[in-house]
Amino acid sequence: MVQSQKHFTRKIAELTVLYEISQALASNLDLSTVSNQVLEILAKKLEMNRGTITVLDEKTGHLSIEAAHGLTKEEIARGKYKIGEGVTGKVVERGEPMIIPDIGKEPLFLNRTRARGDMKRQNISFICVPIQMKGETFGVLSVDHLFKDRGVSFEEDVRLLTIVASLIGQNIKIHQMIEKDKEKLIEENRELHSELKGKYRLNNIIGTSKPMVEVYKAVQKIAPSRTTVMIRGESGTGKELIARAVHYGSPRADKPFIKVSCAALPGTKREVIQALPKWSKAVLNWPMKELYFWMKSATLPCQPR
């Protein structure tokens, strides 16, 4: 009867843990924050202490602790392994869980983090399960348990932790996909800016007359500076091309180039110019120093810098 009650209580605790972990994973996309929440839940609800999530770096082929509960920053920093090294490395190498009933008697347990003090006196058991997705092992989830009259088999702990590891694995893969997409977008943005720089180089502007040569010299002189520039000229003479040449020749070439039509804005030209810093912050949420404005009216394009 007592054993049955313990079993029932354990099952309720497991369901509660899985529910809370699922909620945590669904509520936040920040991998570090979510991982720490998962480990905290395991510690509070099931007394699974010093939980760590160790992830494989595809570039270096090494494992390092990405999240931990109950470890200091220094201890986390020491948690680095090669594949096949220690219990953590073996789990990644084999793709199978490992149970160490007493870490003080296990040569494979390296205590790399040095977070457990004298292991021989504490009777700590260690459970380590692989984090996998489609047969690929890319990390491990591990926890400590005080070895005592548990009333719960190690196999039950492994079963639960395997489910948790699967949930963590999905979250890690989603995070990695987001990061790859972000890197791809950054690279595409960099390439587009490079193309624009080439397109709006001065040598792509037609004109070899003496006045145009003077314009080119002026552009080369002012582009690196932070001065405000006013470009004047008749309609269709290429004022915007010159404005873009100034922008893409400046240190802020990777910032937005925004065209604003004064004719479409209320008030005088002077009022519009004075309102620009406030307008850019309210509408675009960007500081003026990061923008290049091309304001076009009948004859008044300008560039606050």
Q: Flag whether pLDDT at 207 surpasses 70.
A: yes
One domain for residues 208 and 237? yes
Q: Is 201's pLDDT higher than 80?
A: no
**Do 107 and 206 reside in the same domain of the chain?**
no
In a domain, 155, yes or no: yes
Tokens of 114: 């040095």
Looking at residue 272, its pLDDT comes to 54
Query: Measured between alpha carbons, how far is 92 from 80 in angstroms, rounded to an integer?
Result: 13
Same domain, 138 and 233: no
Of 73-77, 157-161, 196-200, 246-250, which range is least confident?
196-200
Domain boundary among 175, 209, 236: 175
Count of domains for the chain: 2
What do you get for the CA distance between the two ends of the chain, in Å? 79
Which residues make Cβ contacts (< 8 Å) with residue 130, sequence separation at least 6? 91, 92, 95, 96, 97, 137, 139, 140, 165
pLDDT tens digits for range 94-115: 999 999 998 988 999 999 999 8
Boundary-marking domain end, from 119, 146, 175: 175
What pLDDT, on the 0 to 100 scale, is given for residue 303? 44
In this structure, the number of other CB atoms found within 10 A of the CB of residue 155 comes to: 10
Residue type, 228: T
pLDDT mean over 89-94: 95
Same domain, yes or no, for 215 and 111? no
Q: Is the pLDDT of residue 196 over 70?
A: no
The amino acid occupying position 237 is: T
8-state DSSP, 267: S
The whole-number pLDDT of residue 1 equals: 59
Beta strand 257-261 pairing with 292-296: parallel
Pairing of strands 49-56, 136-146: antiparallel
**One domain, residues 203 and 253:** yes
> How far is the C-alpha of 38 from the C-alpha of 160, rounded, in Å?
13
For residue 185 the two structure tokens come to 């977008």
The tens digit of pLDDT for each residue in 44-82 reads 999 899 999 999 998 898 999 999 999 999 999 999 999
* E strand or H helix at 166: helix 154-199
Q: Is 106 helix (H, G, I), strand (E, B) or coil?
A: coil
Instruction: State the pLDDT at residue 161.
Output: 95
3-state DSSP of 18-32: HHHHHHHHHHCCCHH
Q: Looking at the structure, do residues 125 and 204 belong to the same domain, yes or no?
A: no
Position 289 pLDDT exceeds 60: no
What is the extent of the structural domain holding 168?
Answer: 2-175
Residue 219, CA distances (Å) to 194, 223, 250, 259, 295 in order: 19, 6, 10, 19, 18
The more confident residue out of 10 and 297 is: 10
